[in-house]
């Protein structure tokens, strides 16, 4: 154990002082030190060095220290004996390869007990599988697959823990060495790899869905969550060209759409509607269904095919998803975006550690989908159900079709797991309303990690919201979400057959609107909450 090695403990202190900018290394050191409870150290001096290392790692994390100069200052101020302070070798820099090895070592320490438990559970499941018979072979198979899935998730955690996060230090102090500047220059010269939609969602995502990131859309039942995701798949297939995508030579790009509820007939009918084909024409036309769709794909300029996968297994898990994507790669197909409809239905069995930490299954499911995004360097879009309280909002507003229920939703509306909001790049709420026999689609940005979401003001200018959440309302063209939209509206009020734009409308502005439009004020008076 490293905490019983004098040289390793001294090296640990050296690393915390001299390589503070290596954030993943610092995190692994902190986790490794705190994974050792009540260490049995006989040597009194060694015990003090260990305690100093623990105390100093706490300081680094609590203070958010990110450079060596600050780290040394805080170390000198620690209330510890001078003989321990004297062992620190300031300026003892290690090459990146050595730092990577140390990071792996600390990761091993913090994960070793969890690895042991996981392998033991997998071994037990394997033994049960080998002795199973007709009556219990299905249960034994599922148990072994779950344990395999648990191991895969753990391996992903380990892999992410040994990957050093990028650090940049630019200082006017000549005594402090700049770090990460060359890589920063390269990154700024390269465009962020995104999957464009070619419609107003590009304003929401900052130019397209980011590769390596996950996105979540929430809706009440019947709120067009699945419809939105299928729209995104088709829009991306049209807006992106193979030459613009980072696909290895010899591979053909495709968008993967996995649905765990609808059958292929339903998905095909919706797809046909997106391209303006009436579902009745699919059955009565002299052309085969595939030929009709091919003609429309050519007409719209779709160069990235969408693969529709209907998964019938109720045991569909992260591991099976990962296996399927690898299978398609072996066939020469490279996934460039994944739409998974939807994460609630992904199979996941809580581990004892999850239960001890009170982590909901929905959080783990979305973490797994995020790991898919990171592993395959693609955007992943999935959906979640909103809670019963949100459905109650819809019920109360059944007679108030002029009110956009998204205004009443927040992160508290997410069913089963509030903590899921910490997982994705962006979270959206969506809802489709019918007003005067016309369909409108409403989307509200609930979470925006990097502040990418913009709205278009009345002058057609792209702007960041000052305080309101970004909110778009668009017309619907059959199943297809239209590009005729308004931004940040207060209500679905219709005046002269157009949506009233009340961008960032204050209560005073509402009063002015009502005074200037007495007919509509009276018309909607009995429909307000």
For 389-414, the pLDDT digits (tens) are 555 555 554 544 555 566 666 666 66
Across 59-70, average pLDDT:
82
pLDDT for 195 beyond 90: yes
Whole-model pTM? 0.61
Tell me what pLDDT residue 378 has. Answer: 92
Q: How confident is the model at residue 306 (pLDDT cuts 50, 70, 90)?
A: very high
Q: What percent of the chain has pLDDT over 90?
A: 12
Give the pLDDT of residue 235.
96
Q: What helix, strand, coil percent values describe the chain, rounded to 5?
A: 50, 15, 35
Q: What are the pLDDT digits (tens) for 250-289?
A: 688 999 998 888 888 888 888 888 988 887 777 776 678 7
Residue range 152-168, pLDDT digits in tens: 788 777 777 766 555 67
- Spatial distance between the Cα atoms of 260 and 367, rounded to a whole number of angstroms: 18
Give mean pLDDT, residues 424-450: 84
Q: Residue 501 has what pLDDT?
A: 38
Task: Please provide residue 216's backbone torsions phi and psi, each rounded to the nearest 5 degrees.
Answer: -125, 135
Question: What integer pLDDT is reported at residue 227 of this predicted model?
Answer: 93
Reduced to 3 states, what is the DSSP secondary structure of residue 454?
Answer: coil
CA-to-CA separations, 359 to 367, 411, 418, in angstroms, rounded: 11, 17, 10
Mean pLDDT of the region 229-257: 88
Q: 305 pLDDT exceeds 60?
A: yes
Q: What percent of the chain has pLDDT over 70?
A: 74
* Mean of pLDDT over the chain: 77
CA distance 53 to 30: 9
Alpha helix ranges (H) inside 387-474: 388-396
Confidence class for position 497, pLDDT limits 50, 70, 90: very low
Of 83-87, 235-239, 309-313, 351-355, the one with minimum mean pLDDT is 351-355
Q: How far is CA 302 from the centre of its chain?
A: 26
Query: Where is average pLDDT lowest: 7-21, 350-364, 368-382?
Result: 350-364
pLDDT given for residue 400 in this prediction: 40
What confidence tier does 494 reach under pLDDT thresholds 50, 70, 90? very low
- Identify the band that residue 481 occupies on the pLDDT scale cut at 50, 70 and 90: very high
Q: Report whether 291 contacts 277 (CB < 8 A).
A: no
Strand ranges (DSSP E) for 303-458? 306-310, 333-341, 380-385, 426-435, 438-448, 455-456
Query: Taking 60 as the threshold, does the pLDDT of residue 190 lie above it?
Result: no
Beta bridge partners of 380: 214, 338
pLDDT of amino acid 90: 80
**Residue 440 or residue 283, greater confidence:** 440
Query: Is the pLDDT reported for residue 366 higher than 70?
Result: yes
Q: What is the 3-state secondary structure (H, E, C) of 219-275?
A: ECCCCCHHHHHHHHHHHHHHHCCHHHCCCCCCCEEEEEEEECCCCHHHHHHHHHHHC
Ordered by start, the domain boundaries in the chain are 2-161, 194-518
Q: Is the pLDDT of residue 415 over 70?
A: no
pLDDT at residue 513 in the model: 59
d(C-alpha 485, C-alpha 220), whole Å? 22
| Nearest residue to 252 via CA among 242, 244, 261 | 242
- In terms of average pLDDT, the best of 34-38, 130-134, 501-505 is 130-134
pLDDT of residue 231: 95
Higher pLDDT, 311 or 19: 19
Question: What fold does the segment set 194-518 form as a domain?
Answer: Rossmann fold (3.40.50)
Predicted pLDDT of residue 502: 35
Burial of 173 (0-12, 13-18, 19+ CB in 10 A): exposed
Provide the pLDDT for residue 209: 95
d(CA 334, CA 350): 31
> Would you state the pLDDT for residue 499?
39
Q: 491 or 507: which carries more pLDDT confidence?
A: 507
- Residue 353 in this model has a pLDDT that exceeds 80: no
Q: Which of 61-70, 214-223, 296-305, 414-423 is modeled with the greatest confidence?
A: 296-305
Mean pLDDT of 62-85: 81
Q: Which residues contact 84 (CB under 8 A, 6 or more apart)?
A: 48, 49, 52
């Amino acid at each position: 154990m490293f905490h019983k090695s004098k040289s390793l403990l001294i090296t640990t202190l050296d690393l915390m002082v001299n390589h503070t900018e290596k954030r993943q290394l610092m995190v692994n050191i902190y986790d490794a030190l705190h994974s050792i409870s009540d260490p049995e150290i006989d040597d009194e001096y060694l015990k003090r060095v260990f305690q100093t290392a623990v105390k100093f790692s706490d300081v680094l994390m609590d203070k958010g220290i990110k450079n060596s100069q600050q780290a040394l200052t805080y170390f000198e101020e620690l209330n510890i004996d001078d003989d321990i302070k004297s062992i620190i070798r300031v300026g003892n820099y290690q090459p990146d390869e050595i730092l990577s090895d140390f990071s792996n070592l600390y990761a091993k320490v913090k994960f070793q007990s969890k690895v042991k438990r996981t392998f033991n559970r997998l071994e037990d499941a394997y033994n049960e599988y080998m002795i199973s018979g007709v009556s219990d072979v299905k249960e034994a198979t599922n148990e072994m697959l779950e344990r395999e899935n648990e191991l895969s998730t753990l391996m992903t955690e380990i892999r992410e823990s040994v990957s050093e996060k990028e650090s940049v230090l630019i200082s006017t102090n000549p005594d402090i060495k700049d770090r990460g500047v060359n890589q920063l220059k390269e990154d700024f010269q390269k465009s962020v790899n995104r999957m464009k939609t070619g419609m107003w969602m590009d304003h929401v995502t900052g130019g397209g869905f980011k590769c390596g990131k996950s996105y979540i859309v929430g809706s009440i039942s019947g709120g067009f969550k699945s419809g939105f995701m299928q729209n995104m798949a088709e829009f991306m297939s049209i807006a992106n060209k193979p030459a613009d995508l980072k696909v290895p030579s010899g591979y053909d790009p495709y968008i993967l759409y996995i649905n765990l509820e609808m059958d292929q007939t339903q998905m095909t009918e919706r797809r046909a509607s997106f391209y303006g084909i009436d579902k009745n024409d699919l059955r009565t036309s002299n052309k085969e269904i595939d030929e009709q769709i091919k003609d429309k794909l050519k007409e719209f300029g779709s160069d990235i095919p969408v693969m529709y996968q209907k998964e019938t297994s109720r045991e569909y898990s992260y591991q099976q998803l990962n296996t399927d994507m690898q299978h398609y790669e072996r066939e020469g197909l490279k996934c460039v975006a994944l739409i998974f409809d939807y994460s609630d239905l992904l199979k996941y069995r809580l581990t004892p550690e999850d239960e001890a930490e009170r982590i909901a299954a929905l959080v783990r499911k979305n973490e797994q989908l995020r790991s898919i995004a990171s592993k395959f360097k693609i955007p992943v879009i999935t959906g979640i159900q909103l809670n019963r309280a949100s459905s109650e909002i819809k019920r109360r507003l059944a007679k108030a079709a002029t009110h956009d229920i998204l205004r009443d939703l927040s992160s508290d509306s997410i069913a089963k797991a509030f903590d899921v909001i910490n997982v994705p790049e962006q979270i959206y709420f969506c809802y489709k309303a019918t007003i005067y026999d016309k369909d409108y689609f409403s989307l509200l940005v609930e979470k925006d990690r990097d502040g990418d979401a913009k709205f278009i003001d009345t002058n057609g200018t792209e702007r960041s919201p000052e305080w309101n959440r970004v909110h778009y309302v668009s017309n619907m063209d059959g199943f297809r979400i239209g590009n005729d939209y308004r931004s940040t509206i207060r209500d679905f009020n219709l005046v002269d057959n157009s949506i009233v734009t009340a961008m960032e409308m204050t209560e005073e502005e509402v009063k002015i609107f009502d005074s200037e439009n007495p007919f509509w004020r009276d018309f909607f008076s009995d429909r307000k909450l």
